[in-house]
Structure 1
Amino acid sequence: MKKFNLTLVGGGSTWTPGLLQSLCKMKDRFPLKKLIMFDIDAERQAIIGEFAKILFREQYPELEFHYTTNVEEAYADVDFVFMQMRTGGFKMREKDEKIPLSMGILGQETCGPGGFAYGLRSIRDMIKTINDIRKYSKDAWILNYTNPAAIVAEALRRVFPDDKRILNICDQPVNLLRSYGRLLGKDPNEFEPVYFGLNHFGWFTHLYDKEGKDLLPELKKLILEGGFKPADAEQRDKSWLDTYAMVRDMLIDFPDYLPNTYLQYYYYPDYKVSHLDPNYTRANEVMDGREKRIFAECKRVAEAGTAKDSVLVHNDAHSEFIIEVAESIAYNKGRIYIVIVENNGIISNIQDDAMVEVAAVLTANGPRPLAVGKIGTFYKGMMEAQLAYEKLTVDAYFEGSYEKALQALTLNRTVVSAKKARQVLDALIEANKDYWPELK
């Protein structure tokens, strides 16, 4: 069985230890010869890097491992690159959330003005990183988790139109599939989903079991009668439990399909604003919770010299999904996963150059998307407004256009008012002056 060289970009991420543990757990399915962690924050990465040395010494001794801040070291002769960058870190995420909320506008990591700000920060670093990778490993598969994935995917489509080994993915559909499995008492790995939308903006239209039965009617009934929880509810912060609970509300109002949890921010922006604390947002919850827990545990393992009794709370779906995607590509498995691809007729009444999120068969030659066909007027209208926002956001970045940025935020359903859009845009420009291109 062929072994691969893998680079993990964003070695200092709080998600990294869970991914490292999953690589150990799944080493028989996706074996590695070499693993390199890369991050521009040496101090932050070192804490996780030292934990990794001990973990691999005990669970993956045959693996060649090191961590670095050197670009050539990171990308020379690699087969796969997993990317999970956060330009500006949690401190900028906190601003993304709090600045809009201070104006009575939704403040969320990837949706609305917060996602807009994060997107404009991510584009520059994503382009640089892919150019760096291609300088040293022109054929490596680049699997990208970096958010906001919709904006990032649109920007990369424009800059690297002929690079067919960049695949943007998101773990939220997988989180939902696992949660459906928990509710139904079935193995989610046996589901065949039918799904369409944009990233963080989509719907499950069918969910077939291995006998071909559509489980969606039963699933909708269970959610309407008993509510909805994530598969790993016992490990989730309260904000995530509240997020999943809103699926029932969305299903009552729009019963056709099962929605991605993020749609609540677009369906009910005023309601969500009224239930968020502008002084203590999800960023604070993560910094005070998961971040402290993860780094404290990594330090404890390094001091103890063993990871045998280490239990890191992490999202299995996040780490296992990206490995499963790599496995399906590496060994031409042809499994079905929900990924982000250029439309080109998949959704027949949406423009071809949209970066859509749909089910696709993943092979050694990349994704083969499954056709969706025409979608209804309501869903088409929702998607086209969001798609226009995403494209105008990327236009604003490449053109340095204040006008396009204002148009983008005015179109976004979490903002709507042009006066509010201008107010929040001006504040975000000031907060992001070290990261964004100048908008004129």
Structure 2
Amino acid sequence: MKLAVVGGGSTYTPELIDGFARLRDTLPIEELVLVDPAADRLELVSGLARRIFAKQDHAGKITTTTDIDAGVADADAVLLQLRVGGQAARNQDETWPLECGCVGQETTGAGGLAKALRTVPVVLDIAERVRRTNPDAWIIDFTNPVGIVTRALLQAGHKAVGLCNVAIGFQRKFARLLEVEPGQVHLDHVGLNHLSWELGVRLGGPDGENVLPKLLAEHGDAIADDLRMDRRIVDRLGVVPSYYLRYFYAHDEVVRELGTKPSRAAEVAAMEKELLAMYGDPALDEKPELLAKRGGAFYSEAAVDLAASLLGDGGSPVQVVNTYNNGTLPFLPDDAVIEVQARVGRDGATPLAVPALDPLYAGLIANVTAYEDLALEAALRGGRDRVFKALLAHPLIGQFEYAEGLTDRLIAHNREHLAWA
């Protein structure tokens, strides 16, 4: 089995490598190709990757290339984890929206739209290269904004599934609180990428006992603290929202908070510099503890599980993924991309049935889906007016003056990445 990782020079990659090494029985990789235009980062990351494989007695071969076509040729699956513009572009996404009194964040709001506009054309170009060199390969997208990027891939006819680590993170945390193995915890996870709720936590499988009320009663403070939300929000909802819902439920508080400290991108950039220095140490043969602060917890385990199911019989039969709605949420079009539990196999992902949703959740999902429609149109076709409409439609913006000011700032800060600007 051959896997290619586009964006293989990312400081995230050792997390992925560690999972590939530990879970080699689930996903028996014979060759892993790390693809990245940054040859210097590739050298550092691949050196550590080979040492991790060697320490854990993994027989797979790790190779590197800056050539996408060569890297994805003959691959059974291609994992996308790229960041167009790097941390510098992310820093801009997290700062200029604050000038208009809006949340500055890399996957939602105006910053999330900027990232989508930069990313979608690049990902589609890579996907076309995959299709030309190996049309049978699965594309696993971990590149944000995952929902919009996955929809772009699916609409272009690619074999693609989107992946996020939010659900597996909740699964692992709830398992610890319940003192059970993670495989015993099944989530009633419903929504869109970075706009989701855990409506139930079931033991043993999709039809198991719902222990969410018990979790909230016994561990509500810890859960709310982890979400960085007021306990009252969790109690009133009676469900566990994704921590990204904080940008919606406490928007003004978050804007004030973000205006008083360095951006997350600045913190990550400093962390990446330190990590790359560590990766260059020939004595290092395991992922460093600092990597846990970089983000992406349990990403490797989710990626292994998904790839194993798409390529064979090694993964879990039910996983949380991003895929076409196809009637699962009846208030959305079939070609909307949702994030829910799905049966995953060689033919792709099929969402499980979802009970009728409270309008409190369905309304916000429908609103953000409408924004994502407009965002994808802007990413594919460009134009100031399309950018403006997407911003005006976003529930974190929604005012004419805000959308006007943000449109000008978005284009000014991203002109080098926008072919039409």
Point out the more displaced range, 147-156 or 383-392. Answer: 147-156
Aligned to 2:235: 252
Aligned to 1:112: 109
Shift in Å, 1:334: 5.2
Alignment-mate amino acid for residue 215 of structure 2: L
8 Å Cα contact 1:97-1:114 kept in structure 2: yes
Matching residue within 8, 31, 36 for 1:34: 31
Secondary structure of residue in 1 paired with 2:298: helix
Point out the more displaced range, 205-214 or 76-85. Answer: 205-214
Shift in Å, 1:312: 5.9
Please report the TM-score for the alignment, with normalisation by the length of structure 1. Answer: 0.89
RMSD value, Cα: 2.0
- Once the two structures are superposed, the pairs formed by residues 153-302 of structure 1 within 5 Å of their partners are 153-160=150-157, 163=158, 165-210=159-204, 212-224=208-220, 226-228=221-223, 244-246=227-229, 248-255=231-238, 257-277=239-259, 280-289=262-271, 291-300=272-281, 302=282
Aligned to 1:87: 84
8 Å Cα contact 1:97-1:281 kept in structure 2: yes
Aligned to 1:397: 379
8 Å Cα contact 1:53-1:65 kept in structure 2: yes
- Once the two structures are superposed, the pairs formed by residues 86-165 of structure 1 within 5 Å of their partners are 86-160=83-157, 163=158, 165=159
Q: How far apart are the structure 1 equivalents of 2:404 and 2:345?
A: 45
- Once the two structures are superposed, the pairs formed by residues 357-396 of structure 1 within 5 Å of their partners are 357-396=339-378
Secondary structure of residue in 2 paired with 1:313: helix
Shift in Å, 1:173: 1.2
Alignment-mate amino acid for residue 188 of structure 2: V
Deviations 1:387-440 (A, max 9, x none): 11111011112232322221211121221211111101101101101112425x
Q: How far apart are the structure 2 equivalents of 1:217 and 1:117?
A: 39
Secondary structure of residue in 2 paired with 1:6: strand
Q: How far apart are the structure 1 equivalents of 2:264 and 2:286?
A: 31
Q: How far apart are the structure 2 equivalents of 1:248 and 1:121?
A: 37
Aligned to 2:302: 321
**C-alpha distance 181-248 of structure 1, shift in aligned 2 (>3 A):** farther
8 Å Cα contact 2:39-2:66 kept in structure 1: yes
Alignment-mate amino acid for residue 183 of structure 1: L
Secondary structure of residue in 2 paired with 1:368: strand
Can you give the 5+ residue segments of structure 2 that lack an aligned partner in the other structure?
none
8 Å Cα contact 2:324-2:336 kept in structure 1: yes
Shift in Å, 1:271: 1.3
Shift in Å, 1:329: 2.4
Shift in Å, 1:382: 0.7
Q: How far apart are the structure 2 equivalents of 1:380 and 1:355?
A: 14
**C-alpha distance 308-390 of structure 1, shift in aligned 2 (>3 A):** closer
8 Å Cα contact 1:96-1:108 kept in structure 2: yes
Shift in Å, 1:59: 3.0
Secondary structure of residue in 2 paired with 1:361: strand
Secondary structure of residue in 2 paired with 1:167: strand
Alignment-mate amino acid for residue 231 of structure 2: R
State, as a whole percentage, how many aligned pairs show the same letter.
30
Number of aligned residue pairs: 415
Q: How far apart are the structure 2 equivalents of 1:268 and 1:61?
A: 46
Alignment-mate amino acid for residue 36 of structure 1: V
Shift in Å, 1:279: 5.5
Matched, 1:44 2:41: yes
Aligned to 1:232: none
Q: How far apart are the structure 2 equivalents of 1:190 and 1:309?
A: 27
Alignment-mate amino acid for residue 344 of structure 1: N
Q: How far apart are the structure 1 equivalents of 2:218 and 2:101?
A: 35
**C-alpha distance 365-180 of structure 1, shift in aligned 2 (>3 A):** same
Shift in Å, 1:5: 0.6
Aligned to 1:236: none
Matching residue within 273, 285, 288 for 1:307: 285
Q: How far apart are the structure 2 equivalents of 1:19 and 1:63?
A: 14
Secondary structure of residue in 2 paired with 1:388: helix
Secondary structure of residue in 1 paired with 2:191: strand
Q: How far apart are the structure 2 equivalents of 1:287 and 1:400?
A: 29
Shift in Å, 1:247: 6.7
Secondary structure of residue in 1 paired with 2:258: coil
Q: How far apart are the structure 2 equivalents of 1:308 and 1:193?
A: 31
Q: How far apart are the structure 2 equivalents of 1:368 and 1:204?
A: 19
8 Å Cα contact 1:200-1:262 kept in structure 2: yes
Shift in Å, 1:30: 1.0
Shift in Å, 1:115: 0.5
Alignment-mate amino acid for residue 292 of structure 1: K
Deviations 1:287-345 (A, max 9, x none): 123x1342122011x3x3x6279656335511111011111222235521111111111
**C-alpha distance 60-102 of structure 1, shift in aligned 2 (>3 A):** farther
Please report the TM-score for the alignment, with normalisation by the length of structure 2. Answer: 0.93
**C-alpha distance 270-30 of structure 1, shift in aligned 2 (>3 A):** same
Aligned to 1:237: none
**C-alpha distance 316-270 of structure 1, shift in aligned 2 (>3 A):** closer
Shift in Å, 1:54: 2.8
Aligned to 1:15: 12
Q: How far apart are the structure 2 equivalents of 1:108 and 1:310?
A: 26
Alignment-mate amino acid for residue 10 of structure 1: G
Secondary structure of residue in 2 paired with 1:345: coil
**C-alpha distance 47-276 of structure 1, shift in aligned 2 (>3 A):** same
